Structure 1
Amino acid sequence: MLPPALPDVDFPISILLIGLGSAAAMVGFRVRYALAARLVNELVEAADEKQLTKTIARYGRVDLLCIDELGYLELDRRGAEMLFQVLTEREEKNSVAIASNESFGGWTKTFTDPRLCAAIVDRLTFNGTIIETGTESYRLAQTWAEQQASR
């Protein structure tokens, strides 16, 4: 399920992710959008309620899973392992699109287990397309432009 309106997002990568998901949904694909931290929280709660298998299966059934803001927060081992299960469930069956302002090398701060981090990167990059949009903050550039215009 995509958000009804654009959330407060970093441009352009999050907007690109949302646009990709929206375009896929408009032509009939089943799409689900999730912020990485919320997805992991949902998985942890599902595990606590003994619903993890159903929740992972639900994420496995959509044609395109869009995960936004991966790399902002450190995930504990349990949450990282559950996210890995979702990615493994989808592997070579359905598509995953990830938006992150962090390079793969920086993902070791998010996934603190180096082997798990390598396995996640491996699954996401195998037969994948990587789009780099740059490292400059759209918000910061917008603020500078507004300040310059008001002078």
Structure 2
Amino acid sequence: MEVILLKEVKRLGKRGEVKKVADGYARNYLIPRGLAVPATPAARSRIAEEVAVAKHQEMDEKAKAEALAAKLDKTQLVFKAKVGESGRLYGSITNAHIAEKLSEIVGAEVDKRKVMLEDPIKETGKTKVDVKLHPEVKVTVTVIVEPESA
């Protein structure tokens, strides 16, 4: 039986693809769970339109992310923090702090999960941090941590 996938199914395919599967697999698993529909001509044309709209939206999102990346490229974020005698910070600079500062610069919300910081910054100095704005668009910003003057 041929089915059109409504969602990505592991080891089978992505949304909008037409796949030939066993009748029982389609009737007992894919269709009842809303993962696929039978591949009728009407369903094919409807899914083709939906995929085209989704592709167009994806291209718009990527263009917005690229424009934002151009704006953020070479951006330096300066943080002032209390520092101990050894040069280590009291506390740390996390991806949430960086996302908040980027949101102020951009004027739009930047999700903290998009800031690719493995460990919080705990020392003064410069650190390069990647920000993933889109699955295909990444920008690097410089985070500068300076000691807070007393």
TM-score, length of structure 2 as denominator length: 0.20
- Higher share of residues assigned strand: 2
TM-score, length of structure 1 as denominator length: 0.20
- Higher share of residues assigned helix: 1
